[in-house]
Structure 1
C-alpha cells in the first residue's frame, strides 16, 4: 500500500515529460496527490488513484544569502492544508513538517489496505536524508545566540534522525521493530530492501516503509554552497536541481497479482563522481533482463550524465525529478509512482516509441555516493498491452 506526495500537473503527459518548461511551476496551484498502492510478496501489487491538492513554488532567502541580500531560490513546497486532515494526537502538537508528512503518508497507506494487517505484526522502516532540519536549525540558533543554557528540551527530540519514525510508530500503535535508514537520494532503495529482508526472515505480516523530507532555508543554502542548485537567474539552462519536499509510504506484504516489485539491488557506493556511471552500470546489468524502460534520478547535476552513460540509448529513460524537484529521501517513491503509472496506463511520458516489455527499471543515484535500483513488473500482462 503506498501513499506518495507528488506534484502532478493538469496534464499528466505534458507535465511528467522531459519537454516541460522549467518555469512551468510558477503560478501553478492545482496539482495532484498521487497514490500508488503496493502489496508485496515475491513482488509488490499496486493500484493507483489520485485526488486534488495544492502545491506551490515558494522562494526562500537562504541562511547567509549574498552580500546584496537579493539571492532567492525556488523550491517545491507542500502546503499545510495537505496534512490538515490528520487526527489530533499529542505527538503532532509540536511535530515538525517532516513528521506530519510521514504521518499523513503512513495513515493513508494503512487506510488503503484491503485487509489492514494487525499492528502488532508490522515493522516500520523509515528512509530519511536531511531529517528534521527546521527544528534542528531553531535548536542550534538559540544556542549560538544565547548560549548552551538556552537549549530547548522541547526542540531537541526533533533534531534526531529517528524522530519522525518514533512519532509515526506511536500514532499508528506499531509496537514492533522500527528502523531508520539514513542516506541520500538512493536511500529509498535501501529501505525497501531492508523491508523485503525483514518480511522474508521473520513472521511479520507486513512492513510499512515510509520516506519523508522537509525543505528549509538551511538545507537550500547547503546545497547551494555545494553548487548543486539551479541558478534562479538562469532557469532555462536546466543545470542544477530544485529542492522539494513530501512523503511516501509503502505497505509491503506477501500477496499476488497486479504490479509487483520484482527485484531490488542496493547497489554500491562511489567515491568520485567519475565512478558514478560505472556503479550505476553495475546495477543496470543486474536488472536489465526484459526491461522496457527506465525511470531515473537525473536532477540537473552530474547524475544526469552518469545515468545516461549507464543506461545507454537502448532504453527509454525518463527522470521525473526534472519536473518535480529533488526530494532526496522521498524521491525513490516518486520514481516508483511514475514507473507504476507507465505500466498501468501504457504511456511513458516523452517517448515516441513506447516499450513493450513487462518490466520497468527504477534507478537511483544520490549526491552523496549511493546507488541502487529495482524492477517493477505487471504480473499478468506486458507493460504496454496491444502495442507490441
Structure 2
C-alpha cells in the first residue's frame, strides 16, 4: 500500500483559528468552554463558542455568506488546510472532499420545520431547506473551493473523523483522485444542547477541522506534517470493549508497530486493558475546546500532527500520569462510543 501523508491542516476552534493560534493557545492552556447566554431557554450552560471569527474574511466564496454555520466553519477550515499544504490547485476533478459530521445544520433544520408548521409551505425558506440536508456542508465546501471531484459525507460520532481519513486513503490508493481534503464540522444548537444536558453531557462545542491527505512523494511542498502509518475502525454493538481493543490491535498491526512504540495516545476514552498500554501518556484537548464530536476527533488529529512537527507535547493536554517522551515518534488518536463504534489512526514522524 502507498504511504499517505498529511500535507496541510486547518482548525476553526473556540480556542484558536489556524495552526499557529491553536498551538499557542493549547500550550498556554486557554479554555474555550465557559458559561454562555446564547440560548434563551438554557440558564448559562457551559459551551465552547466561536466568537471572534469574521466569516466574510475567512470564506473565499461570498455565496457562502448566508449558509449555515456548520458550512461556514467547514469552508474556512478547508481553506486553512489547503493554504497550509501549499500544493495547489485543489480545484478540478483530481481532488476529493470527504466530510464527517454528527448532527448537521440543526439550526437551519429547526428554522425550516418551524416556518413550515407555523406558517405553511409558502413561508418555508429554500435556503433553510437546502442547507439542512446532511450532505450540504460537503457540497458547500466543494463549491467554495472549486472541488469537482467526489464529495462524500460520513455520519456518526467522533469515530467519523477516522473513518473519513480511511476513506480518503482508500480513494488515493485506488488512483481515482490525487488529493483528498478531509473535513469535520459541528455547530451549536439550543435543542440538542438541552437534550445532551438532560443526559448529563455538558461542554458542547462548535467549529471545524480539516486536513489534506496525499500520497507520499506526490506533494510539491516538501515539509508535510506527518505520515499516516495505520488506521482502523469497526462496530461491535454487543461488545464495545472488544471493539476498542480490537481496533487498537488492528491499527498497530497495519502500522507494523507494537504498543510500546507509541509515544502518546490522544483520546477522551478509557484505554482498553491488556494491550501493554499501561503507563503510556494519554492526552486530549476536549477540556479546552469542548466536545464537537467528529470535529473534536479531527482536532485531536490536527494537534497530533502539530506535536509531531514541533516535536513537543504541551503539558496542558496530558490527562494521566504517563511520562512525556523526549522524542515523539508515533502518536495514536483513538476514539470509541457506547454503541461499539471504535476507530484509531497512527501518525508517524518521517
TM-score by length of 2: 0.81
Rate the CA distance shift 1:307–1:60 in 2: closer, same or farther, 3 A.
Answer: farther
Task: Write the deviation string for residues 37-64 of structure 1: whole angstroms up to 9, x where unpaired.
Answer: xxxxxxxxxxx9769999673525768x
Instruction: Say which of 245, 259, 271 aligns to 1:307.
Output: 271
Task: Write the deviation string for residues 118-159 of structure 1: whole angstroms up to 9, x where unpaired.
Answer: 522111111111100111111112233334453222310011
User: How many Å apart are 1:195 and its aligned residue?
Assistant: 0.4
The 8 Å contact of residues 335 and 342 in structure 2, kept in 1 or not, is answered as: yes
Name segments (4+ residues, structure 1) moved above 4 Å. 48-56, 60-63, 308-312
Instruction: Say which of 2, 9, 12 aligns to 1:5.
Output: 12
Rate the CA distance shift 1:369–1:287 in 2: closer, same or farther, 3 A.
Answer: closer
Task: Write the deviation string for residues 323-345 of structure 1: whole angstroms up to 9, x where unpaired.
Answer: 32111121121111332343333
The 8 Å contact of residues 32 and 290 in structure 2, kept in 1 or not, is answered as: no
Rate the CA distance shift 1:111–1:334 in 2: closer, same or farther, 3 A.
Answer: same
| Alignment partner, residue 384 of structure 1 | none
Secondary structure of the equivalent of 1:332? helix
Secondary structure of the equivalent of 1:137? helix
The 8 Å contact of residues 213 and 327 in structure 1, kept in 2 or not, is answered as: yes
TM-score by length of 1: 0.73
| Alignment partner, residue 207 of structure 1 | 180
Rate the CA distance shift 1:218–1:310 in 2: closer, same or farther, 3 A.
Answer: farther
Rate the CA distance shift 1:330–1:82 in 2: closer, same or farther, 3 A.
Answer: farther
Rate the CA distance shift 1:61–1:208 in 2: closer, same or farther, 3 A.
Answer: closer
Give distance in 1, aligned partners of 2:335 and 2:191.
25
The 8 Å contact of residues 332 and 346 in structure 2, kept in 1 or not, is answered as: yes
| Alignment partner, residue 371 of structure 1 | 342
Secondary structure of the equivalent of 1:81? coil
Unpaired runs of at least 5, structure 1 = 8-30, 37-47, 231-241, 299-303, 380-388
Taking the TM superposition and a 5 Å limit, the aligned residue runs for 1:239-258 are: 242-255=203-216, 258=225
Secondary structure of the equivalent of 1:110? helix
Rate the CA distance shift 1:253–1:341 in 2: closer, same or farther, 3 A.
Answer: closer
Give distance in 1, aligned partners of 2:241 and 2:338.
13
Rate the CA distance shift 1:93–1:117 in 2: closer, same or farther, 3 A.
Answer: closer
Rate the CA distance shift 1:243–1:309 in 2: closer, same or farther, 3 A.
Answer: farther
| Alignment partner, residue 63 of structure 2 | 91
Give distance in 1, aligned partners of 2:80 and 2:236.
36
Aligned pairs, number: 318
Give distance in 2, aligned partners of 1:115 and 1:176.
17
| Alignment partner, residue 295 of structure 1 | 266
Q: Determine if the alignment matches structure 1 residue 264 to structure 2 residue 248.
A: no
User: How many Å apart are 1:193 and its aligned residue?
Assistant: 0.5
CA root-mean-square deviation: 2.9
| Alignment partner, residue 57 of structure 1 | 34
The 8 Å contact of residues 228 and 346 in structure 2, kept in 1 or not, is answered as: yes
The 8 Å contact of residues 123 and 208 in structure 1, kept in 2 or not, is answered as: yes
| Alignment partner, residue 229 of structure 1 | 201
